[in-house]
Amino acid sequence: MIIQKTSSSRLESFDQENYSFGDHFIDHMIICEYDNGKWGEAKLMPYGPLSFSPANMTFNYGQACFEGMKAYKDKDGQVFLFRPRKNFERINKSAKRLAMPEVPEEVFMKGLKVLMDVDRAWIPYGEGRSLYIRPLIFATEEGLKARVAHKYMFAIVASPAKSYYTAPVSVKISDYYSRSASGGVGFAKAAGNYAAAFYPTQMAIEEGYDQIIWTDDATHEYFEESGTMNVFVRINDTIYTPPTSEKILDGITRDSFIQLAKHKGLDIRVEPVAVKTVLEAQKNGTLKEIWGVGTAVVTSVFKAFGYKDQRFELPVLADEDSYALTLKKALVDIQTNQAEDPFGWRELVERNILETV
């Protein structure tokens, strides 16, 4: 690995109490370029802009995917990653679907850990705080012919993070727009998936909602995801979440919630969630909770949902009565080294990794 450290850290000028999600970046980044059919040597370098032509094939044809993951710091200053190899596996699954080269495990994992070690001072400690990490792969070739690119870049950037949503949100169940379709790229973290979601989300915001619950493209009768999150529904004391498919992202937080629920002996079922089932449960009083989960937010509790021209308020539960918040606390306690990790999810970032690189 090539090491090029900054001569002056920006940390002293960073207001650690007054910042927004994704607006500030740590001192360094990881870059690795693909050309002539192979990946080159990874480089740690100062964070900053890169120069690309407007004819860059990513801008024109959308070959780009990314991951979202976090690093956490405990009270002793130790740094932990959460299930990072799942992110490695998923970014390559996305890359393959977009006809991009898969990044080698050594480049991904070594680059990730070197970056976390070098910039560990940027990782905040405290409730709801973490370092949000964004690995990404994108085409860098200059050209306007619609074909697979021959040049790519793998990069890792990171940003200090506080709680994404600080209060419950309201969501609109989509009865027209879909996030993805059969045979498409819904299971991949393709950049274009997010761009296509912005317009219908903006429409929902104009109606007074914060996000959308996406439904299937064929019938709009079944839940798929909510905004950029996987979705969970609690009816009586049973939790339901849709099974993953080629249209639904295999969320790492989602999988962690499922495993934690089983570990706690909760009744959780991975099966299709019908809109009509949720509406019936709302009507007869058995609908207790709906929530979304994802890396950035961890858990977003919903206070209300809309369907067509109706709005329905959800019960307000005490924290100890909420399955969503109970599972969130259990997950965060593992991530931040405040609880035992029976699953082996937490991965320590050793100090002074550069000495072995």
Q: What is the per-residue pLDDT across 203-230, written as a single tens digit (0 to 9) for each?
A: 999 999 999 999 999 999 999 999 999 9
- If you average pLDDT over every residue of the chain, what do you get? 96
The total of other beta-carbon atoms located within 10 Å of residue 222's CB is: 16
Same domain, 117 and 136: yes
Q: Contact 103/95 with Cβ under 8 angstroms?
A: yes
Q: Locate tokens 């959800």: which residue?
A: 314
CB 306 within 8 A of CB 276: no
pLDDT higher at 281 or 15 = 281
Which alpha helices (DSSP H) does the chain contain, by range?
Answer: 57-61, 84-97, 105-118, 191-206, 252-263, 275-284, 323-335
Residue 355 has pLDDT above 80, yes or no: no
Domain boundary residue, one of 140, 162, 184: 162
Residue 163: the pLDDT is 79
- Does the residue 320 lie in any domain? yes
What pLDDT was estimated at residue 17?
86
* Position 166 pLDDT exceeds 80: no
**DSSP-based three-state secondary structure for 208:** coil
Mean pLDDT of 308-331: 96
- Is there a domain that residue 185 lies in? yes
pLDDT, mean of residues 160-185: 91
Furthest-apart CA pair in the chain: how many Å?
A: 64
User: What's the whole-number mean pLDDT along residues 73-87?
Assistant: 97
- Residue 245 neighbours by CB under 8 Å, 6+ apart: 186, 187
Q: Would you place residue 162 in the very low, low, confident or very high pLDDT band (cuts 50, 70, 90)?
A: confident
Enclosing domain of residue 11: 2-162
Cα gap 200→177, rounded to integer Å = 7
Cα–Cα distances in angstroms (integers) from residue 48 to residues 20, 24, 312, 345, in the given order = 19, 11, 46, 32
The pLDDT of residue 257: 98
3-state secondary structure at position 108: helix
Does 136 lie in the same domain as 268?
no
Q: Phi, psi (5° rounding) for residue 278?
A: -65, -40
Last residue of a domain, one of 144, 162, 180: 162
Provide the pLDDT for residue 221.
97
Burial class for 244, CB neighbours closer than 10 Å (0-12, 13-18, 19+): middle
What one-letter code names the amino acid at 252?
A: I
Q: Is the same domain home to 95 and 193?
A: no
Instruction: Say if residue 40's pLDDT is above 80.
Output: yes
158 and 174 belong to one structural domain: no
110, part of any domain: yes
Predicted local confidence at residue 149, as pLDDT: 98
